[in-house]
Amino acid sequence: MTSVCGRRRDMEDAVSIHTSFSTKHTSYFGVFDGHGCSHVAMKCRDRLHEIVKQEVEGFKEEKCVEWKETMERSFVKMDQEVGNWRVEGENSSTCKCELQTQQGDAVGSTAVVAVVTPEKIIVSNCGDSRAVLCRNGVAIPLSSDHKPDRPDELLRIQEAGGRVIYWDGPRVLGVLAMSRAIGDNYLKPYVIPEPEVTLTERMEEDECLILASDGLWDVVSNDTACGVVRTCLRAQKPPSPPGSDGATGSSDKACSDASALLTKLALARHSTDNVSVVVVDLRRNQQ
The predicted-structure confidence for 144-168, as pLDDT tens digits, reads as follows 999 999 999 999 999 999 999 999 9
Domain 10-145+195-214+272-286 has CATH 3.40.190.10: no
For 194, counting Cβ atoms within 10 Å of its Cβ (0-12 exposed, 13-18 middle, 19+ buried), the class is middle
- DSSP class of residue 258 equals H
Domain coordinates in residue numbering, the chain = 10-145+195-214+272-286
Q: How many CB atoms lie within 10 A of CB 161?
A: 8
pLDDT digits (tens, 9 = 90+) for 200-258: 999 999 999 999 999 999 999 999 999 999 999 999 865 555 544 455 677 889 999 99
- With cut-offs at 50, 70 and 90, classify the pLDDT of residue 101: very low
* Sign, Cα dihedral of 223, 224, 226, 227: positive
